[in-house]
Amino acid sequence: MSKMPVDDKVSKDYKIERLFLRYAYPCVDQRTKISEEEKISIKEGILSGKRYSREDIERFFPHAFEKMKLIYPNEDSWLHVEDFWRGEGHNNSLELDHENMNETMKEFCRVKTGIVKKNYGEYLELGDGKKVLNPFRLELKEGDMIRIHQACVIEKV
């Protein structure tokens, strides 16, 4: 059975949506306007690669989109997802509207890079001795550089 051709735009859109969801995955538990059942369902969906509409993603993570609108005013936030998470957008946004967030929490929320020292499957030990979760079960080896958000491995760099 042959696969149906995939429209390049649909494929690119899906990649941007997946990128956003991977980085936002650690934030699911912090959503206050979503029921516990829906939080579990969203986390399972993200881990399994379920496709969500952009409207649903914006509903799940309104705070992230509010921050993107502050950083990229008068522009479609979806055009800036990669820069927001992989660039400095997200980290800079922590200073914009988190007057009540202490420095420890800001540091925890920053997107960082790390070097894998040991892979234990569910978690990794980094070169600096810290341990981070590996929810996407990325196949990583010693020396790999990774991006981390809220103590979760998001992607290999």
3-state secondary structure labels for all residues of 90-157 = HHHHCCCCCCCCCHHHHHHHCEEEEEEEEECCCEEEECCCCEEECCCCCCCCCCCEEEEECCEEEEEC
The answer to whether the beta carbons of residues 115 and 144 sit under 8 Å apart is: yes
**What pLDDT, on a 0 to 100 scale, did the predictor assign at position 34?**
85
**Residue 93 to residue 77: CA distance in whole angstroms:** 14
The answer to whether the beta carbons of residues 97 and 109 sit under 8 Å apart is: no
Place of tokens 């986390």: 43
Q: Residue 26: name the closest of 113, 154, 121 by CA.
A: 154
pLDDT in tens for each of the 157 residues of the chain? 334 344 455 578 889 999 999 999 999 988 778 899 999 999 999 999 999 999 999 999 998 999 999 999 999 999 999 999 999 999 999 887 666 688 898 999 999 999 999 999 999 999 999 999 999 999 999 999 999 999 999 999 9
Which structure tokens are listed for 120?
């234990």
**Residue 51 to residue 14: CA distance in whole angstroms:** 8
Residues 100/60/31/85 CA torsion (nearest 10 deg): -50
**Residue 72 to residue 67: CA distance in whole angstroms:** 9
Q: Please tell us whether the domain made up of 111-156 is placed in CATH 2.30.30.
A: yes
Domain boundaries, the chain: 8-106, 111-156
**What pLDDT, on a 0 to 100 scale, did the predictor assign at position 47?**
94
**Residue 43 to residue 36: CA distance in whole angstroms:** 11
